[in-house]
């Protein structure tokens, strides 16, 4: 609904700009197809590692064998970490999606397909139909057995859960409210970042902390880094830019980079390693 090249155009722009890409289980193409246009031809039956840094965002399937196969594929292609989505056990109330009909496969990796009947239109019903709602802290052991990749929990929204992640030996967390599309009254992730910084600062010593949601300008990136975030994630901005294909995404990245560098200069710093809470 944005651009026919979808995540493939995002991959090309991210590679050229030197930033990572996080590929979702719900992507419009299989992960192999997304990176095919930037990868060298495979040697025999063994695909080469993807020539850029990428992460794989896993929505845990009710059929765990499907998730395990996706994890093996991500490892084989050279993913640097798996981002396990924990903030969407059920689909949120998305009225816009309820009105959108589709007549084709929506996400080949998850197997989601369109459904249009008297119960409603396709996208809002299909998006979360395969997700396992029983996922809990007990499944950390299953994740560790299923992959050698670092495990990042995406969707942490309280300092208490951040501490639990630390206690479970999780490698990283993403403070995310799913773009405000699941629970519309959830707090901004930036406020959760501040809460953790104030009440549980020890988390930053043991766990890499990332933030997504509400990151729209270079100044937002700067604020997150000042509060201790390792990096930020952006969704909507990239989708808006994708309306103009690969070049639109590249331009968006250039704008963010320029805004961040301008903010740094105005604050009197020359390297992001100098960023502290003092700013």
Q: What is the length of the chain?
A: 279
Hey, how many other C-beta atoms are within 10 angstroms of the C-beta on 132? 15
Closest CA to 213 of 155, 136, 142: 155
Residue 15's pLDDT is 93
Average pLDDT score over residue span 107-136: 67
Count up the domains in the chain and report the number. Answer: 1
Asked if the structure places residue 97 within a domain, the reply is no
> Per-residue pLDDT tens for 225-254?
999 999 999 999 999 999 999 999 999 999
CB atoms within 10 A of CB 45: 5
Sign of CA dihedral 42, 28, 176, 138: negative
Exactly one of 3, 8, 178, 181 is catalytic; which is it?
Answer: 178
- 233 to 21, 134, 181, 238: CA distances (angstroms): 9, 26, 16, 10
Phi-psi region of 196 (alpha: psi -120 to 50; beta: other; left: phi over 0): alpha
In a domain, 103, yes or no: no
What CATH number is given to the structural domain containing 21? 3.20.20.70
Distance CA 185, CA 26 (A): 24
User: How much of the chain exceeds pLDDT 90, in percent?
Assistant: 68
Among 156, 188, 158, CA closest to 173: 156
Predicted local distance difference test score (pLDDT) of residue 276: 87
Distance CA 173, CA 261 (A): 26
Verify whether residue 178 is a known catalytic residue.
yes
Q: Is the pLDDT of residue 224 over 60?
A: yes
If phi over 0 gives left and psi between -120 and 50 gives alpha, with beta otherwise, what is residue 78? Answer: left
Q: Is residue 107 part of a domain?
A: no
Full domain range(s) for residue 216: 6-90+131-274
Q: Which residues contact 129 (CB under 8 A, 6 or more apart)?
A: 91, 112
Q: Is 186 contained in some domain?
A: yes
0.85 surpassed by pTM: yes
What digits encode the pLDDT tens for the residues 45-67?
Answer: 555 567 889 999 999 999 999 99
The DSSP bridge partners found for residue 43 are 46
Beta pairing, strands 112-113 & 151-156: unpaired
Contact 252, 244 (CB under 8 A): no
Specify the pLDDT at position 182: 72
> Distance between CA 235 and CA 215 in Å, rounded?
9
């Amino acid at each position: 609904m944005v651009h026919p090249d979808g995540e493939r155009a995002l991959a090309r722009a991210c590679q050229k700009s030197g930033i990572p890409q996080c590929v979702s289980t719900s992507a419009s193409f299989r992960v192999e197809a997304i990176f095919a246009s930037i990868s060298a031809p495979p040697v025999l039956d063994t695909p080469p590692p993807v020539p850029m840094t990428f992460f794989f965002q896993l929505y845990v399937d009710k059929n765990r064998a499907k998730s395990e196969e996706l994890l093996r594929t991500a490892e084989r292609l050279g993913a640097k970490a798996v981002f396990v989505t924990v903030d969407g056990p059920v689909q949120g109330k998305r009225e816009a999606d309820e009105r959108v009909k589709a007549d084709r496969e929506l996400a080949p990796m998850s197997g989601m397909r369109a459904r249009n009947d008297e119960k409603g239109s396709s996208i809002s019903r299909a998006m979360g139909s395969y997700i396992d709602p029983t996922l809990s802290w007990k499944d950390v052991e299953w994740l560790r057995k299923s992959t050698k990749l670092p495990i990042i929990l995406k969707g942490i929204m309280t300092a208490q859960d951040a501490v639990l992640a630390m206690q479970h030996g999780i490698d990283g967390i993403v403070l995310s409210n799913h773009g405000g599309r699941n629970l519309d009254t959830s707090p901004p992730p930036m406020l959760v970042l501040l809460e953790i910084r104030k009440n549980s600062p020890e988390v930053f010593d043991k766990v890499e902390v990332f933030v997504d949601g509400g990151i729209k300008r270079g100044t937002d990136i700067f604020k997150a880094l000042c509060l201790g975030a390792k990096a930020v994630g952006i969704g909507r901005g990239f989708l808006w830019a994708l309306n103009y294909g690969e070049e639109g995404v590249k331009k968006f990245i250039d704008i963010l980079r320029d805004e961040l560098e301008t903010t740094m200069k105005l604050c009197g710093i020359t390297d992001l390693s100098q960023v502290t809470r003092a700013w």
